[in-house]
């Protein structure tokens, strides 16, 4: 999500004649697109902004801008301006698409431009994009979130859920395929509720419509909410020859008591049922997840419920997080905040468990041939890499640049999560 927003900021600057540079010493403009979902992301952003003070002192013409969801938090922009007065532009998530106007205003005045809108705007179409992830292209389908999970800051900094029109999404996808992109990843805080604010469309319809676009490409989407994953949608995924056989279904926790406190609106039993539906229609589906440990009041027993759920589902991958207290969320006020050491111990046990599962799953790949979309070249390994339909990463050698091509790779070695193979 943030990455694609950076592509939009890049697009707005490209349209003004700026080109990208790897070296900040050479830069005329530096934009921070921040995230505040967890405290460490926020700390890192502040550290990086602070580190630019010297550069700004050396180069007075350098324009430094800070946007994203960190600045969108209540009273944050003023605080940021006081701490880092050398920052030229401060904007939020709600006016990201208007960054160009703020930038132009800054060019014509000495004073800093600070504009963070209190409320989300209607969707703006047609923002230029400086895409950086060929052969994949990110496509927003919804903005904002209505779920209000009690730990999460997203609904406060990104506003209510808004869906882009189906025609706009499909025509963007058509253009991208015509331009040569080989993979489209649809983005939304909860893509499953796409269309709730529109008439006669839902996410299943969108998948079906995008799948009709001619040409060979892959369709992915993230992220999903278990409560909104319907049988109709799973059927649409199963019937689409473009949609990858992998679904990211964040579970967050395995204990019903914690799920309730999190306001996730499903139980562990409901979650198992969703997994069953997925496997009924897409027997080989790879399910990945997000899991949080150390949510307020989480006991060892609750954590063991999470461990049990992870074992039972057999995830193909899991992003694990230690609960991070976010200002203004209901969980911030909850009694029973968990000691960091306990959370660290729990997350390590969870990571070990998932690593073992990944190693076991990788073994099944040995000597098999898989279709990989070549995505990148690893300079250190001197190998190309890409993923199969299940999202599993494979590395392989080639003398020819294969980025953007589908290749058949025979897996010759399996270690941890990624695979090693040769083109056949
Ligand atoms: N603390 C830790 N992890 C969080 N996430 C969201 N909010 C928090 C928080 N306050 C995690 C969730 C979500 C993922 C994108 O980030 O697991 O699915
Ligand atoms: Fe946050 Fe929950 Fe919305 Fe995801 S669904 S963005 S975790 S509030």
Task: Give the mutation target among 154, 290, 330 for probing the ligand 1 site: most ligand atoms within 8 A of CB.
Answer: 290
State the closest ligand 1 atom to the C-alpha of 252, by its place in the atom list counted from 1: 17
Predicted pLDDT at 41: 87
For residue 224, report the distance from its CA to the centre of ligand 2, in Å. 10
Question: CA-to-CA distance for 185 and 253, rounded, in angstroms?
Answer: 26
Task: Give the mutation target among 1, 36, 38 for probing the ligand 1 site: most ligand atoms within 8 A of CB.
Answer: 38
Q: Which residues does the chain have with pLDDT short of 50?
A: none
Predicted pLDDT at 121: 87
CB 217 within 8 A of CB 177: yes
State the closest ligand 1 atom to the C-alpha of 325, by its place in the atom list counted from 1: 10
For residue 279, report the distance from its CA to the centre of ligand 2, in Å. 24
Does any ligand 1 atom lie closer than 6 A to the CB of residue 421? no
Does any ligand 1 atom lie closer than 6 A to the CB of residue 321? yes
For residue 327, report the distance from its CA to the centre of ligand 1, in Å. 14
DSSP string, 167-228: HHHHHHHHHHHHHT--EEEEE-TTGGGTTTTSSS--HHHHHHHHHTS-SS-EEEEE---GGG
Q: Which ligand neighbours the alpha carbon of 156 most closely?
A: 2
Does any ligand 2 atom lie closer than 6 A to the CB of residue 282? no
Question: CA-to-CA distance for 127 and 11, rounded, in angstroms?
Answer: 7
Structure tokens that stand for 217 in this block:
């490409």
* Residue nearest to ligand 1 atom 2, measured at CA: 323
State the closest ligand 2 atom to the C-alpha of 153, by its place in the atom list counted from 1: 1
Angle value at C-alpha 307, between 306 and 308, nearest 5 degrees: 90
Predicted pLDDT at 1: 82
Residue with tokens 């990945």: 288
* Residue nearest to ligand 2 atom 4, measured at CA: 189
pLDDT digits (tens, 9 = 90+) for 211-257: 999 999 999 999 999 999 999 999 999 999 999 999 999 999 999 99
Instruction: Classify residue 300 by burial, with Cβ atoms within 10 Å: 0-12, 13-18, 19+.
Output: exposed
CB 141 within 8 A of CB 186: yes
Predicted pLDDT at 2: 86
Does any ligand 1 atom lie closer than 6 A to the CB of residue 38? yes
Please name which of 405, 371, 401 lies closest in space to residue 388, comparing C-alpha atoms. 371
Question: CA-to-CA distance for 129 and 8, rounded, in angstroms?
Answer: 4
CB 405 within 8 A of CB 385: no
Is residue 322 helix, strand or coil?
strand
* Residue nearest to ligand 1 atom 16, measured at CA: 37
């Amino acid at each position: 999500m943030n990455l694609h927003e950076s592509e939009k900021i890049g697009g707005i600057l490209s349209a003004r004649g700026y080109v990208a540079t790897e070296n900040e010493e050479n830069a005329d403009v530096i934009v921070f697109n921040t995230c505040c979902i967890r405290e460490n992301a926020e700390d890192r952003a502040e550290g990086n902004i602070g580190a630019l003070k010297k550069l700004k002192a050396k180069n007075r013409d350098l324009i430094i801008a800070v946007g994203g969801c960190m600045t969108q938090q209540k009273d944050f922009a003023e605080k940021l301006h006081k701490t880092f007065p050398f920052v030229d532009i401060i904007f939020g998530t709600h006016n990201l698409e208007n960054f160009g106007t703020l930038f132009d205003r800054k060019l014509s005045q000495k004073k800093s431009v600070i504009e963070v809108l209190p409320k989300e705007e209607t969707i703006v179409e047609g923002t230029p994009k400086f895409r950086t992830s060929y052969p994949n292209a990110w496509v927003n389908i919804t903005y904002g979130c209505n779920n209000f999970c009690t730990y999460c800051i997203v609904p406060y900094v990104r506003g209510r859920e808004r869906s882009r029109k189906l025609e706009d999404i499909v025509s963007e996808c058509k253009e991208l395929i015509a331009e040569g992109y080989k993979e489209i990843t649809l983005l939304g805080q909860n893509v499953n509720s796409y269309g709730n604010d529109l008439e006669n469309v839902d996410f299943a319809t969108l998948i079906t419509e995008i799948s009709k676009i001619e040409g060979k490409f892959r369709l992915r989407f993230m992220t999903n909410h278990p409560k909104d994953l319907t049988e109709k949608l799973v059927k649409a995924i199963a019937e689409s020859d473009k949609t990858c056989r992998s679904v990211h279904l964040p579970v967050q926790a395995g204990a019903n008591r914690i799920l309730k406190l999190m306001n996730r609106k499903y139980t562990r039993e409901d979650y198992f049922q969703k997994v069953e539906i997925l496997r009924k229609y897409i027997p080989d589906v790879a399910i990945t997840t997000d899991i949080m440990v150390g949510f307020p009041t989480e006991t060892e027993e609750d954590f063991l419920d999470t461990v049990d759920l992870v074992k039972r589902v057999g995830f193909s991958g899991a992003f694990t997080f230690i609960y991070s207290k976010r200002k203004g969320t209901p969980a911030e006020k909850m009694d029973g905040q968990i000691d960091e050491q306990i959370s660290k111990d729990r997350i390590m046990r969870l990571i070990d468990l998932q690593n073992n599962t990944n190693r076991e799953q990788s073994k099944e790949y040995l000597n098999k041939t898989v279709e990989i979309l070549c995505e990148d070249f690893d300079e250190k390994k001197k190998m190309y890499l890409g993923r199969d339909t299940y999202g599993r990463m494979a590395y392989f050698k080639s003398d020819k640049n294969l980025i953007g091509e589908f290749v058949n790779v025979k897996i010759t070695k399996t270690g941890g999560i990624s695979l090693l193979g040769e083109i056949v």
